[in-house]
Structure 1
Amino acid sequence: MAQLAMGTKLMVGAYSIAELTSIGGMELSADTVETTTLDSGGWRTFMQGLKDGGEVSVEGYFNPGDTNGQIALYNSFTSGSLLSYTILFPFGASWTFSGIVTKVSTKADLEDSVPFEATIKVSGQPSLGLTASAGLTGLSLSGTGGSLTPTFNTNTYLYAFSGLTGTSFTVTATGAGQTIAMYVDGVFVQNLTSGVASGSVSITSIGSKKVTIVANEPNKAPRVYEVTVVKTA
């Protein structure tokens, strides 16, 4: 059955790359090794040779404030570092792979938005997840003055925790039989125990932090929940 691509994300670690309009790949291929012998009946025969994960290309709009997404790709290009990526489809399937960034580009045309393009060379074997993890059954944040919107739903992945006036907050996620990892502004903080509050996260200045919760079961596509925590006073 055909599936819509709208809502697909490319994750760098636990952080989604902002403002993408296209994700190209995966492109799996394999070399061939000839095995023809005198007994092959006049036909060439082959066996599969080395496999190649190909490249993943992305296109979108340049966002210099996307420090853990677009700028992370640029930093990976300059350092040559190998990072972990996930193409996360909205219907529960995923590709997980390691890769190196081989291209980053922008350009400026009159009366057009500034585009962003990048290419990631897949290194090693990618993993295809066909079944979605169960996802969270509960998600709440605690902090003076803050409130979570919209009301939590297992299949809703974007939230705001706004109106925070205190200097810290905690996160409680519930999901039986899953690994629940918590990131703040793209940096791993801790693995959460289902139903148990996280350690206190400091937010002392007016502004926002991005909290990412990744719920995952072995050999299944992860579910990624993002909460923008906004401190107003």
Structure 2
Amino acid sequence: MDPDCAICHAPASMACDCEAKGLEVAVKQAEERMMRSIYGDIRSWVRAHAQDYILEYFRQLAERRKTAHSAHLDHITAHAFYHYNAPPHPNQIAEAQATLKRGIDEDWQASVQRYPEVLEYFYSLIELTLPADDEAAVKNPPLTAPPRKPSRRAGSISASAGSAPPPAIAPPSSFHDRDALMERRTPAPATTPRDRRTFRPPPPQHHPSSSYYAPFG
């Protein structure tokens, strides 16, 4: 005999989706409670490493730019003294400085626009490992005994003293059995088959540099 819906109490023959929706809400709430700090740690780790990479990448570009600028100043200085026995004209120095500034701005823009590629790379290094289905903590979690029904005594609610706990309900012997039991009442969302042990993000995809414009300020 199939039990009525645990939420709306409709007969099982009604095949309502209350339990399935309730399970989805419970999963999201549990994920928020248990995984939020983990997601935050992952995000902080990825962000820090991506920023370090971008800053180092920009530093290398800027150093090459400054080296070329110094060589250019040496060249125009030597040329001025050779031909005019005088330092370069101030306009030449100002033009060289302006060229350096434009180049550094271009290097910084090129560096910042690599963030999508760099972030995806560091996210792809993260591995989330799930326990095996046959591990003791999975097959026999310490959650098998249902809670005892509380009794009201002297205006308060407490567990019934002296009564023996109800017998533990053995969990399904395998995930296949569990899925068969729950398929009708709380169907899981359709997913593609995957390895239950380890999840690793897909490799990062290349993004054109114009796909990202960094906020400044």
- Which TM-score applies when normalising by structure 2? 0.21
Instruction: Give 1 or 2 for the bigger CA radius of gyration.
Output: 2
Determine which structure has the larger helix proportion and give its number.
2
Larger RCO (alpha carbons 8 Å, 6+ apart): 2
Structure having the larger proportion of residues in strand: 1
**Structure 1 length-normalised TM:** 0.20
